[in-house]
Amino acid sequence: MQTISLVAPAKVNLFLEVTGKRPDGYHDLSTLFAKISLADRLTLSAEVAEQESLALQITGPLGAGLQADDSNLVLRAVRAFEEEFQITLKANIILEKHIPMGAGLGGGSSDAGTTLLALCQLFDKDPLLLLPRAAKLGADVALFLYPDTFLKGEGIGEKLSPIAATGPLPWVVLVYPDTAVPTKGVFGRLCLSSPAEILTNISNLDRLLVALTSGSSLEQYNSLLFNRLEEAVLPYVDSVREVKEDFKALGVRPLMSGSGSTVFALTPTLEQAKNLAEKINKQGRKVFVAHFGGTKNENN
């Protein structure tokens, strides 16, 4: 039985505009994903077998409360791999959880995508063949089949284009207020903006992409960071709103990631990030300092 161990990175959304609602109830997005060094770890042993046998063990500081049953995205990802390549597996998986759940950081999606990546490496398969199945597992799962740190997402987030950022990248201070925000409720409260405002914001996303690819400093593009879903969360979830207000009081520009509940801010240096993390920390919050990327070299 072969064994592989990979990190499953969290993501933040540096930009997120909702551009429309689809007949199937999903929403079309225009977003910029960025993978960060806060990560779960997945250790997977697998071999081809006559009869399927899958075992999942969940460990780590944030593993409590996560079910290791057939509803878990990791096991669903294994079955998607089996179906795609018409093989039956015996697999033992250990998932070490460090990413909070319901936090807008894509932890479950990353675990599923990294499971697919691990199986592809073990059995010499092309992970991009799994993109349609990944999208069915969850809108963000396909993101984690790419090695790139930054990806522009369209559709429901599954149409992805890698972005090659250059220059010194900022550090990320993340605050999870120990409150899970269900995505479905957020989109249920959301009101679409006017076509003119959406077009303006899409133009701002284009400017943000130019800034990142041309090596601009954080000061030059920080004002372009945006998340439409904040207006469907901040008025309704006190703990998320308070984190954002505390960040502002410390003189930085915060942004909620995805549909919440994590709020983050960028700083030019690690020293500034550590100072900010110390000041923003309060009882009931989990605070992380991370950098962009960090998984491409480790996983490849």
Q: Which positions are catalytic?
A: 11, 140
User: Cis before residue 214, ω within 30 degrees of 0?
Assistant: no
Which alpha helices (H) appear in 2-85, and where do they start and end?
73-85
267 within 8 A of 219, measured Cβ to Cβ: no
Gyration radius from the chain CA atoms = 19
- The DSSP output letter for 230 is G
Inter-CA distances, 290 with 113, 287, 294, Å = 20, 10, 9
Spatial neighbors of 23 by CB under 8 A, at least 6 apart, are none
Spatial neighbors of 229 by CB under 8 A, at least 6 apart, are 16, 18, 186, 187, 190, 256, 258, 259, 260
Dihedral of CA 27/243/295/110: which sign? negative
